């Protein structure tokens, strides 16, 4: 019997519920921002669960965390699976944490099936995938692991309160005395990330397993509009340099620019901060974010390159600065790994379909250093980055079953 | 020699500089929000300065604070003058505090001139004129003093962090052991408020004293747009309920609605809060403020009544709620007091002109309970509610000279 059938649906579900207590919100969602005590405690909880099986824990200099089931040849690069424990500011119970818990469940299922592997298999937690609510870059840990960002460049990055990544990591390290240190970017044999779909396709088509073919690309911009504070009752319109008025005009013009009748473009202004933000003061400053995604890099280039000009055209009497903060090209998954996922699903009698990922994932960066693939499972109505995020115990367990089969196979190849 | 000539320009200027230390910002402005320790300390400082002259201090249940120079008949209602010690979140060194310090200076000048008065004269500090940066209603203390709001209604009002007016007032009371308690809304013989103009007219016309004829009216609205949080990478536009997109459309449409070629309308969206305010989350909620002012109540009625319809028309797939939080009609100042101000300025050889107040002031509410007037002095380029706010020692002292003359005259009538 393969390890997929040893996956324990009730255990996996209970662990999601236990993890959801770390940062539970009144509406039943989760707020567990990267590198906070809550996020650190999620890693500690994983270490304790793993330790019951004799799995050892490791941490690297960017806080990526690994629970390892040893192989017969410890010198070989391990097979890895995992995702992240941090959430959006008003996040749900499954985004990220599912990939981590499915990986641990796979390790335990392989253990329960009595299967020895040549290569070690590790459940990985990548640091700060969600960006800590706009405080730091997203996919921070996996990008540093893969060498796309350097440690030296990210450690001094400060959040809104001046807390640097480096200072936060010291707290994280101190929270995890049970973990052994490990250097950055060790060789990896293969990486498979399980995740809720965060879109409606699997549910709509009645499929349980999504075999991810690609992740769309993303460009991020930060727009800073500077005018001048003034008194709302006395300052004439002609003399105002109202940063809010200019920013609102830019926002509406950008909506028009990015409008796509086929609805493939994903354009979002998610963060918009007004200063001083008082009812009786003409705003002197607005800062807002742009998140733009598309599967086609040529479209990313063409539409994204229009942002700065549109902001300049609508700045009125204010000054505007547009800074591009991220451009991640689309990532394709092909070859052996997607095929293994597909055949494991078939073997377990689970329906599957190829699917595009709208969201970014740590797998983007792992794909730069080793063969990589992703497994999606359905989430209710496609709702994600939302406290109402939901998934069924059956679907979650199904993804973990496929994962356990694939990981065991890769670790013995 | 009248008391106006006893005003000490250097002393008055130094006290402005001393007060500016309480909440000084790096840019040289002041952030001294209502009922914070800094604001409480401003009252304590006034009490200490007054005590050197033997002036007693009083506090009422809404935190309004009074420094009293006793009259020969303590049973008569006092003459009052004053303004506020609190500032906007990024405010300046003169808005509000000038009216308080000019009143104290007038008391001292009358003292130095050896003038006894029948009625007591009091320098008043009205609580929370600026609304604490949108936390509580503005002109809180003067409106409760005048009975326009009840104490019972305002004490439970909580700010963004859950701090109620009542809890903040307990801290304020404890900060001022030197002040005696006084009931709310004692009879007042007359009230004169000195203030920087907060507009460019006096400077532009080369006049020193503005005799305020009226304060324009104001309507305030709070607009709450509710959509649904979603993932910026996966959620299709057609399925989004993006509260930011709807709110930006409303803001642009409202700008058009309130556009006035004659530039008399004052329309401001000063506070705009997005939730959860993260770059990768479609915003599920936006709350924004509308501040609309005009000297003509009929225009306030006509244009203001259009707000709710415009917001509804641009709500898209979101829900919107428009709540009117304030409607203060224009306040006219006429009769004896403006005439006294005009003739005191003439007597002192200071140029003067009638002027409309664009900003709201505590005088609006005092005008409901006693004869009331205002004295404006120039401020640099009309800049206010801004850290760059500036005024000259000469102009500030000139306003205090007129004030001292008028107060002494009123207290002996």
CATH number at residue B240: 3.30.70.360
Residue A385: its chain B contacts at CB < 8 A? 229-232, 278, 280-282
CATH code of the domain covering residue A143: 3.40.630.10
- For residue A352, what are the β-bridge partners? A209
Rounded-to-integer distance, Cα B242 and Cα B245, Å: 5
Helices (H), A192-285: 201-205, 243-257
Rounded-to-integer distance, Cα A69 and Cα A111, Å: 9
Helix (H) / strand (E) element for A87: namely none
Q: What is the predicted pLDDT for the residue at A384? A: 86
Mean pLDDT value across residues B19-37:
96
Task: Find, in chain A, the residue whose alpha carbon is nearest to that of B223.
Answer: A279
Residues A125 and A192 in one domain: yes
Helices A393-412 and A97-112, axial angle in degrees (round to 10): 60
C-beta separation of A368 from A187 below 8 A: no
Residue with tokens 């006049």: B207
Per-residue pLDDT band for A386 (boundaries 50, 70, 90) equals: confident
Residues A320 and A248 in one domain: yes
Residues B276 and B347 in one domain: no
Residues B194 and B87 in one domain: yes
Residues A168 and A240 in one domain: no
**Does residue A1 have a pLDDT over 80?**
no
Q: What is the predicted pLDDT for the residue at A388? A: 92
Q: Which of A274, A303, A328 is the last residue of a domain?
A: A328
- For chain B, the C-alpha Rg in angstroms (whole number) is 22
The size of the A-B interface in CB pairs under 8 A is: 249
Arithmetic mean of pLDDT over chain A: 96
A114-117 long-range contacts, CB within 8 A, separation 24+: A115/A3, A115/A408, A116/A71, A116/A72, A117/A69, A117/A71, A117/A72, A117/A79, A117/A408, A117/A411, A117/A412
Q: Which of A328, A361, A395 is the last residue of a domain?
A: A328
Residue with tokens 């009609």: B329
Q: Which of B313, B328, B343 is the last residue of a domain?
A: B328
Closest-CA distance, A110 to chain B, in angstroms, reads 33
Indicate yes or no: CB of B278 within 8 angstroms of CB of A133. Answer: yes
Residues A125 and A160 in one domain: yes
Indicate yes or no: CB of B198 within 8 angstroms of CB of A252. Answer: no
Residues B339 and B199 in one domain: yes
Number of domains in chain B: 2
Q: What is the predicted pLDDT for the residue at B181? A: 98
Indicate yes or no: CB of B131 within 8 angstroms of CB of A278. Answer: yes
Percent pLDDT > 70 in chain A is 100
Contacts of A299 (CB under 8 A, 6+ apart): A265
Site from B86, B232, B324 to mutate, A interface, most A CB atoms within 10 angstroms: B232
Residues A8 and A37 in one domain: yes
Per-residue pLDDT band for B159 (boundaries 50, 70, 90) equals: confident
Residues A51 and A168 in one domain: yes
Q: Parallel, antiparallel, or unpaired for β B65-69 and B121-125?
A: antiparallel
Q: How many residues does chain B have?
A: 413
Rounded-to-integer distance, Cα A412 and Cα A119, Å: 7
C-beta separation of B33 from B135 below 8 A: yes
Range of the domain at A276: 217-328
Beta strands in A117-251 (DSSP E): 121-125, 180-181, 190-196, 209-215, 217-226, 230-231
Closest CA to B39 of B64, B70, B9: B64
Rounded-to-integer distance, Cα B189 and Cα B77, Å: 5
Closest CA to A379 of A216, A108, A252, A197: A197
Q: What is the predicted pLDDT for the residue at A408? A: 98
Assign A333 to helix, strand or coil. Answer: coil
The predicted model scores a pTM of 0.80
Indicate yes or no: CB of A279 within 8 angstroms of CB of B272. Answer: no
Residues A56 and A165 in one domain: yes
State the DSSP code for A380: G
Residues A352 and A204 in one domain: yes
Per-residue pLDDT band for A325 (boundaries 50, 70, 90) equals: very high
Question: Tokens at residue A195, please?
Answer: 């995740």
Residues A323 and A369 in one domain: no
**Does residue A159 have a pLDDT over 90?**
no
Indicate yes or no: CB of B270 within 8 angstroms of CB of A281. Answer: yes
């Amino acid at each position: 019997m393969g390890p997929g059938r040893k996956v324990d649906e009730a255990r996996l579900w209970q662990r999601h519920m236990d993890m959801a207590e770390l940062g539970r919100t009144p509406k039943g969602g989760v707020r567990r921002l990267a590198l906070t005590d809550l996020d650190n405690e999620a890693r500690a909880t994983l270490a304790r669960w793993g330790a019951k099986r004799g799995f050892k824990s490791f941490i690297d200099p960017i806080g990526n965390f690994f629970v390892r089931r040893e192989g017969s040849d410890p010198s070989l690069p391990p097979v890895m699976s995992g995702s992240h424990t941090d959430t959006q500011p008003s996040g749900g119970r499954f985004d990220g944490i599912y990939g981590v818990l499915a990986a641990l469940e796979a390790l335990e299922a392989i253990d329960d099936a009595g299967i020895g592997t040549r290569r070690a298999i590790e459940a990985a937690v990548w640091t700060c995938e969600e960006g800590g609510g706009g405080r730091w870059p997203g996919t921070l840990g996996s990008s540093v692991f893969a060498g796309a960002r350097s440690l030296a460049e990210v450690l001094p990055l400060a959040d809104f309160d001046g807390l640097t990544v480096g200072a936060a990591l010291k707290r994280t390290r101190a929270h995890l005395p049970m973990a052994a240190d490990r250097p950055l970017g060790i060789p990896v044999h293969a990486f498979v990330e399980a995740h809720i779909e965060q879109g409606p396709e699997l549910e709509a088509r009645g499929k349980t397993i999504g075999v991810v073919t690609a992740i769309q690309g993303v460009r991020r911009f930060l727009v800073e509009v500077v005018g001048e504070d003034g008194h709302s009752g006395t300052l004439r319109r002609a003399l105002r340099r109202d940063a809010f008025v200019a920013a609102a005009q830019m926002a509406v013009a950008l909506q028009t620019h990015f409008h796509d009748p086929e609805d493939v473009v994903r354009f979002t202004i998610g963060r918009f901060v007004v200063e001083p933000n008082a009812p009786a003061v003409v705003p002197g400053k607005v800062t807002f974010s742009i998140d733009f995604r598309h599967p086609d890099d040529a479209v990313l280039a063409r539409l994204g390159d229009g942002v700065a000009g549109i902001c300049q055209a609508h700045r009125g009497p204010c000054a505007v600065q547009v800074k591009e903060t991220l451009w991640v090209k689309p990532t394709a998954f092909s070859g052996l790994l997607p095929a293994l996922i597909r055949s494991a699903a078939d073997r377990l009698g689970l329906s599957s379909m190829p699917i595009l990922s709208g969201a970014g994932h740590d797998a983007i960066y792992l794909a730069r250093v080793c063969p990589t693939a992703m497994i999606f499972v359905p989430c209710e109505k496609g709702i994600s980055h939302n406290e109402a995020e939901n998934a069924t115990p059956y679907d979650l367990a199904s993804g973990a079953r496929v994962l356990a089969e694939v990981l065991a196979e890769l670790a013995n190849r």
